[in-house]
Amino acid sequence: MDLDTPSELLLTPSVSFSTSVSSSTSDVFSLLLTQLHQCHTQRVTELEQKVNHLIKKFQKLLVLSREQKESALKYRKACQDLKKENHALKKALKEENRYRIYSFSLK
């Protein structure tokens, strides 16, 4: 075998053996390489499916995160509006109390 050959080529079942190896040994090696290649392909497929599942899960979480962010912004805006309204009401009440005429009863 050539040491400069990429490992992908070594795993393919089409690797040829020298003529000094018997035909049955060559068949066994060919079968083993075929099985190894099938296992490798199956494992890669499983990993791709897991990655795709995780991508979908991440996308769902991203959508939820955006929705929560939007809700938080709406809540913050509502709180700010209520705070402004409360401040305006307190100011109006203070102004009203300033000009109020109190009646005191003397007994």
> What single letter denotes the amino acid at residue 23?
S
Question: Does residue 10 lie within any of the structural domains?
Answer: no
What dihedral angle (degrees, nearest 10) is formed by the CA atoms of 24, 29, 35, 37? -140
Range of the domain at 46: 20-95
Question: Does residue 49 lie within any of the structural domains?
Answer: yes
* CA–CA dist 15, 37 (Å, integer): 12
Convert the pLDDT of each residue in 90-105 to its tens digit: 999 988 888 777 666 6
Angle at 77 between CA 93 and CA 81, to 5 degrees: 10
Question: Does residue 104 lie within any of the structural domains?
Answer: no
The domain tally of the chain equals 1
Convert the pLDDT of each residue in 23-69 to its tens digit: 788 889 999 999 999 999 999 999 999 999 999 999 999 999 999 99
Question: Does residue 85 lie within any of the structural domains?
Answer: yes
Q: Is pLDDT at 70 greater than 90 in this prediction? A: yes
Question: Does residue 9 lie within any of the structural domains?
Answer: no
Report the pLDDT value the prediction gives residue 1, as an integer from 0 to 100: 45
Angle at 12 between CA 10 and CA 15, to 5 degrees: 70
Question: Does residue 48 lie within any of the structural domains?
Answer: yes
Question: Does residue 3 lie within any of the structural domains?
Answer: no
Question: Does residue 2 lie within any of the structural domains?
Answer: no
